[in-house]
């Protein structure tokens, strides 16, 4: 399986981190130079000045174009499947074993999501794929982030045919069934997730403390930004969310679905 890492020219430290991490797993990768969205905006690129995309920040636009460039490489490659990684990803200890043991459909119009935002999501109750101690379930609700996913060559080609219609951030266009342009794209969530972005690691000793290139430039955050809740409210919300997730999962049971928090590990 080909592995592609998206990396801005300025982010030398991030590239070094990915080299170090993937080399430890004996995995080779191809670097794809990320598109600098600020430069796109500065030259008033007519392809991305469409009013439908006016709410997207420069970093969101750069991210969208960067992933599209990876898809072009995948569509032209010989391999049936490819792994796409952003350069702030942490991978699990068994990552190489997982990648090598996966047996995926090369013709299905789908994306396999390998990362987690630590979110509670709705999944099909029965898994579709399995590899090692991990299983892949159909994802039926939004799950943010486009930092680690697998797609086949045909899916990459098909996604490119839609790229001019995309008017939301990359992770929304891939992983939000209610807002994305493509409605018939199947998403599989691997559980537990073998990847996580650096900023989500909390106080972990493995955290690299990379400064995000896109957070703060997210349209959703600009539109819905609110003051942080006091600590006691966060704790209360967390406990209520756990209870809600369990009750919601019970309610979903007859439909063959479940509600589950996606952990990294």
Give tens-digit pLDDT for 20-78.
Answer: 999 999 999 999 999 998 887 777 665 555 667 778 888 898 999 999 999 999 999 99
Please determine, for residue 181, whether its predicted confidence score (pLDDT) is greater than 60: yes
Please determine, for residue 222, whether its predicted confidence score (pLDDT) is greater than 80: no
- Looking at per-residue confidence, does 214 or 99 come out higher? 99
Distances (CA, A) of 226 to 18, 56, 124, 238: 33, 19, 32, 18
pLDDT in the model for residue 247: 75
Contact by Cβ (8 Å): 27, 99: yes
Q: Taking all residues of the chain, what is their mean pLDDT, rounded to a whole number?
A: 87
pLDDT in the model for residue 150: 98
Least confident interval from 87-101, 115-129, 169-183, 221-235: 221-235
Please determine, for residue 114, whether its predicted confidence score (pLDDT) is greater than 70: yes
Please determine, for residue 261, whether its predicted confidence score (pLDDT) is greater than 50: yes
Please determine, for residue 212, whether its predicted confidence score (pLDDT) is greater than 90: no
Phi, then psi, of 150 in degrees rounded to 5: -120, 140
Question: What percentage of the chain reaches a pLDDT higher than 70?
Answer: 82
CB count within 10 Å of CB 227 equals 5
pLDDT in the model for residue 45: 63
Q: Give Cα 191 to chain centroid, integer Å.
A: 14
Please determine, for residue 249, whether its predicted confidence score (pLDDT) is greater than 70: no
pLDDT band at 102 (very low <50, low <70, confident <90, very high): very high
pLDDT in the model for residue 224: 43
Contact by Cβ (8 Å): 72, 160: yes
Contact by Cβ (8 Å): 210, 198: yes
pLDDT in the model for residue 29: 98
pLDDT in the model for residue 91: 97
pTM confidence score: 0.86
Residue ranges of domains in the chain? 2-261
Give 101's contacts (C-beta < 8 A, 6+ positions apart): 131, 132
pLDDT in the model for residue 207: 82
- The beta strand positions in 35-176, using DSSP E, are 81-86, 89-91, 110-113, 115-116, 120-124, 129-131, 134-138, 148-152
pLDDT in the model for residue 147: 97
């Amino acid at each position: 399986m080909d592995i592609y890492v998206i990396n801005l020219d300025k982010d030398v430290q991030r590239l070094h981190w990915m080299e170090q991490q993937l080399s430890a797993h004996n995995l080779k990768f191809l670097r794809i130079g990320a598109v600098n969205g600020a430069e796109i905006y500065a030259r008033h690129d007519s392809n991305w000045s469409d009013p439908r995309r006016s709410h997207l920040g420069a970093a969101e636009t750069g991210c969208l174009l960067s992933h599209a460039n990876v898809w072009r490489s995948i569509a032209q490659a010989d391999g049936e499947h490819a792994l796409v990684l952003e350069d702030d990803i942490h991978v699990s200890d068994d990552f190489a074993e997982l990648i090598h043991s996966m047996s995926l459909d090369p013709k299905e119009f789908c994306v396999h999501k390998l990362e987690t935002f630590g979110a509670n999501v709705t999944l099909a109750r029965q898994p579709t794929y399995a590899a090692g101690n991990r299983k892949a379930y159909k994802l039926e609700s939004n799950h943010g982030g486009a930092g680690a996913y697998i797609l086949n060559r045909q899916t990459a080609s098909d996604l490119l045919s839609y790229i001019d219609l995309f008017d939301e951030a990359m992770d929304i266009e891939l992983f939000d069934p209610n807002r994305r342009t493509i409605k018939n794209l199947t998403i599989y969530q691997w559980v537990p997730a073998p990847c996580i972005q650096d900023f989500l690691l909390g106080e972990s000793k493995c955290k690299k403390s990379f400064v995000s290139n896109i957070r703060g430039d997210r349209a959703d955050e600009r539109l819905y930004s609110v003051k942080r809740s006091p600590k006691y409210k966060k704790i209360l919300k967390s406990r209520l969310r756990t209870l809600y997730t369990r009750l919601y999962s019970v309610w979903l049971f007859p439909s063959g679905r479940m509600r589950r928090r996606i952990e990294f590990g």
